[in-house]
Structure 1
């Protein structure tokens, strides 16, 4: 799939990507982000071009149609007594499965279940997995249709209850009818951090994890991890990458089964094909490695 997002000028991109990363993770308000971008630009047109390229265009992110003939997609609810009481997510299954299949929990970024994450779930189903993508924003009515509001909504929720909802989703999915009982977890940004955390807090539930550019699990929980992990990082993602050397030392200390893949010339969010952060070549390589990893460890 070709990324049609406009690409920024190289003379401002390095600084601009850092500003966008701060904005996307709540360190800059939208107003301050736009003001800082205007200060970087050679002219207003260039600033606007970059800003527009960074904001998601979800029409670019659909690789598998919601009505693809090979899959069955639906929204399903699950009980979460330790969280918000009830959760909801997007369930996608291969249409004509002749045997029980491994399942993969897909955890979104810090803005709710947007169309890109739903497409990731469909891609997994096309590859032969049962995929379920819970929406952390369901207690507030679900993803609101735009990332800015979604980000604000997710920040307003109690973090411990979000984690409890995700853990409940993992347990629900592992026992789902048609599942082989093997469970993988893949997540992006916030979801990447949650992938490692679920592996640490649900060591008898999670059978394999693939965190994309997320922070490592809490240091005091790393020794609990039993599942093999494939950590996917972008070379230019300085903020997240700085957290990993200390975590990797603990991974080695506890003799975890893990591999860290570093993708050249790739920013935070390089797998997300709805914005200019997308690196097509590296995203496709990371995805093929993800599928191979799940097939190896989930069957």
Structure 2
């Protein structure tokens, strides 16, 4: 049986095809890397609204179906095609400060990788978690923008134990590898990254932000009895099934996109979990935006919604980290 992690990542591929971002042949290749047989992959594409192939299952044209509703209880990733053209408009936030590649100790003698951006006059420190293709230039730029806004930032590479994202020349293979990693490893590595943040930004309050897959990772860490976070902002990441947030004290800004039915299917559960835990929280849903709208390198980029979300994010950190 496919794990919830792999199931969600597979749905992401199917929706990319349904929305015309990747052709059927590429969708089938990516689903194969995730461990789906050809019949199972075809069934998933059909279930997610992709047009059935006219002939061979290895040929065809991209589907044009609307974004369907789908459920999932594991983290999601970006749906942008790596070869696609991003929507026009500048990225949200200030021009990023430089980042530097760092390594630091992980659990049980492992070595973790990341990108560190130091604020000139830090107001707090933030852990940044990437989308489902690993730590790339876009995620590094988010860390740099946070530093420019006054928050030193560490973007963690959750593929560190497999050589890091740079070890994968095929982003689909990086996604497939993320689908194989148990949640316990993600949690342990993110906790180690928080420790590194504490070392580099002594005395600072700690925050966290994650996007798509990283949004789900943010919910996962919040549900792991992590008391060090003062604020967190999961961007369009679904809540893991049965998440219990009573072990955190973080003020949570949940960011959602109006046209993201699959992730929005867990929005009410997230609100209920936040209320049950008694956490300070806001749920912000951005009109006219779809999944991964913040990623300025992707085909779903929405510059208006991204700018609005950035302003909400910085205001949230200013309120709870400064």
Q: Same fold (TM over 0.5)?
A: yes
Residue 55 (structure 1) aligns with: 81
Asked if the contact 1:174/1:205 (under 8 Å) is kept, the reply is no
Answer yes or no: is 1:234 the counterpart of 2:236: no
Taking the aligned partners of 1:101 and 1:58, their CA distance within structure 2 comes to 36
Asked if the contact 2:250/2:280 (under 8 Å) is kept, the reply is yes
- Counterpart among 191, 207, 214 of residue 184 in structure 1: 207
Taking the aligned partners of 1:209 and 1:77, their CA distance within structure 2 comes to 24
- SS of 2:133's equivalent in the other structure is coil
- Counterpart among 115, 120, 123 of residue 90 in structure 1: 115
Q: Deviations over 1:138-189 (max 9, x none)?
A: 111111244212102222333321221111101221231x444211100011
Quote how far apart the aligned CAs of 1:239 are: 1.3
Q: Which has the higher helix share?
A: 1
Residue 283 (structure 1) aligns with: 306
Taking the aligned partners of 1:112 and 1:183, their CA distance within structure 2 comes to 22
Q: Deviations over 1:170-219 (max 9, x none)?
A: 1221231x444211100011211221222333542111000001122553
Taking the aligned partners of 1:40 and 1:281, their CA distance within structure 2 comes to 36
Residue 180 (structure 2) aligns with: 156
Taking the aligned partners of 1:211 and 1:254, their CA distance within structure 2 comes to 17
Are the structure 2 counterparts of residues 159 and 255 from structure 1 closer, same or farther at C-alpha, using a change threshold of 3 Å? closer
Residue 273 (structure 2) aligns with: 250
Give the structure-2-normalised TM-score: 0.72
Asked if the contact 1:184/1:207 (under 8 Å) is kept, the reply is yes
Are the structure 2 counterparts of residues 286 and 270 from structure 1 closer, same or farther at C-alpha, using a change threshold of 3 Å? same
Quote how far apart the aligned CAs of 1:277 are: 1.2
Are the structure 2 counterparts of residues 148 and 115 from structure 1 closer, same or farther at C-alpha, using a change threshold of 3 Å? same
Taking the aligned partners of 1:79 and 1:152, their CA distance within structure 2 comes to 25
Residue 72 (structure 2) aligns with: none
Are the structure 2 counterparts of residues 90 and 47 from structure 1 closer, same or farther at C-alpha, using a change threshold of 3 Å? same
Are the structure 2 counterparts of residues 130 and 151 from structure 1 closer, same or farther at C-alpha, using a change threshold of 3 Å? same
Are the structure 2 counterparts of residues 79 and 58 from structure 1 closer, same or farther at C-alpha, using a change threshold of 3 Å? farther
- SS of 2:208's equivalent in the other structure is strand
Number of equivalenced pairs:
271
Taking the aligned partners of 2:220 and 2:60, their CA distance within structure 1 comes to 42
Are the structure 2 counterparts of residues 93 and 63 from structure 1 closer, same or farther at C-alpha, using a change threshold of 3 Å? farther
- Counterpart among 143, 164, 178 of residue 142 in structure 1: 164
Residue 110 (structure 1) aligns with: 132
Asked if the contact 1:106/1:131 (under 8 Å) is kept, the reply is yes
Taking the aligned partners of 1:223 and 1:287, their CA distance within structure 2 comes to 27
Taking the aligned partners of 1:240 and 1:19, their CA distance within structure 2 comes to 18
Taking the aligned partners of 2:30 and 2:268, their CA distance within structure 1 comes to 23
Asked if the contact 2:129/2:217 (under 8 Å) is kept, the reply is yes
Aligned residues: CA RMSD: 3.6
Residue 152 (structure 2) aligns with: 130
Residue 81 (structure 1) aligns with: 107
- SS of 1:186's equivalent in the other structure is strand
Q: Deviations over 1:238-291 (max 9, x none)?
A: 111111213322322332211000111221111112222111111111011101
- SS of 2:294's equivalent in the other structure is coil
